[in-house]
Structure 1
């Protein structure tokens, strides 16, 4: 096992945006970074070799889903999640809190934790800050997330405050249970809805406990982008400047760019993979619907600036044909493309921070996204 201490080093800063390197027991990760979501030990429609080819440095798994099937003990017996899913790089595991809270009537919540019925077979389970932390240890997660509650919005200030304060008590219990190992980390999660005073209170409480990194949860749950950015503007100044900052469940290219410019380093979202399975392509000119009939005769690649397998080997006409024919390969190729685009965007942003010209690059990116698809006469 490595003797390296988990840490984040800053390479450059452009206004609030940071470029850096995350050093972990399973390798280094350049930040800002986007983590493909591998909820149940697989990034849907992708082999892990394909995920690696996109430039991804870290992936995400989920405690709730993996504890239900195949079970954390089995994964541990088989050598841990890295070996189980053929991913040697870092893995961050979500604590399961968000998934359990979304079960609604299938769960009961109290100070101890959450009792819930499996969405698979109705079996009863209990998750606590301690058991969630133990499960993530069995999975051999490089980054363990503390167990928290993410209340549904809108909600009253009092409701959000009560939930946040219980999450802070759970964070303290999660931290006490966490087994410190070289190169491994646990992140605390800031909650508080879109209430500035509660976000500040939550961040300060987590700082007192002390974590290797800090996440911002409870956003990208339906609030306008402007409110999300306002919440980041309030919260980020209260997070340690020498630790990585992770915005959970975000998002679109525009959301990620705006969040990096507010000091965020890490992202995850199902959006690019889900879009890939439903025919939507992310490109440097915005999104395209590959199911549209306009692609039937189109010999061009999805995006001329992309060198992924879908763009380097196949035409839009072929991708369109695969979706119309309901062929699995269509979802595979388009997911590959979307993840490659997200990773290329992260590299572009990282380089712009190093070059101290992120604001100019951001304007260029937004202008290109707003142009819409390339015209035939500008495609060279």
Structure 2
């Protein structure tokens, strides 16, 4: 009897254990299902947040681009308004002088022009039969005329204000324009000067600002010397690299180019064309590949080849695009992993036609890539180039060269006196 009872108890215990196991299994299955559903919900939520982030970033980029375009339009309109105002003021002053001048001098004064490339006024010819002197290279490229004149004006407040307006419309900026005119007035205020003397004073003051920054690209004994070239879209980086490569090769240096612009379509092909013109090899990677990886490999290849210089092209990027600027910062970090002293030079290529926007570009690129020198391009067109004076005054960065054309030899060493003379239209 006891044995039967024990057996019944054992069976009951086993049944209870099976039920408990089934309950545990059911609970585990329920928990697993809850975890699966939670994971799916998290994945959906993350996908939604990622999509929202992408949309927000796209909206921010579009807004930044619109703002940059609006700023450029506003700057251009401000320059036009300043030029128009200066022209109206000059005409009014000329009319007042003509009405008040009872005993005119042998050569009647002509008001300074405000639509200027060069920035200083054209002058009245002393002898219509005398041929005009030939302008220098920058004067020809920047549209300078050089007639000889005899015009005299009093260097008073009106004249200084007019000169300031001229310099501002030439993209020199308010602070630099005030500095130039203030220096011109020292010891000469109230004196009657010929326009040629005014031009010379202005050119000399501008050259004095530019002189400390006019330095060629330094060459170092350590090889390969890594030269990183940066700048916004369309500034002329690729053509500048081709011209530099040609000049260094002509000087007996072994040069290698790394086509680090893997983003823009046909950028590699364009650089290869310049490499062929210069007789310099170009290291490339597939479009869309990581530019930092290419740069790392290029440094190793340049070292193995015994190259003297490695010129690195980078993708053009707007200074208000944080993601692209971070990519540039990554390239710099990768370069320093290979050589902690590199890049030995970081050249910022600036487009002269961007005007005062060049100042913002220098600020941002200097923070990201530690800019060591500047190259100004497109001075062969309608650009006045006065922003280069503002850059020298504000940042003091070396200006190595200026681009004056599209040919391979159209990259000239920066000459401050020649530049200043061309800017104001003064013939020495």
User: Going by fraction, where is strand more abundant, 1 or 2?
Assistant: 1
Task: For CA contacts below 8 A with separation 6 or more, give which structure has more relative contact order.
Answer: 2
Bigger radius of gyration, 1 or 2?
A: 2
TM superposition score category, shorter chain reference: 0.3 to 0.5
Q: Please identify which structure carries the higher helix content.
A: 2
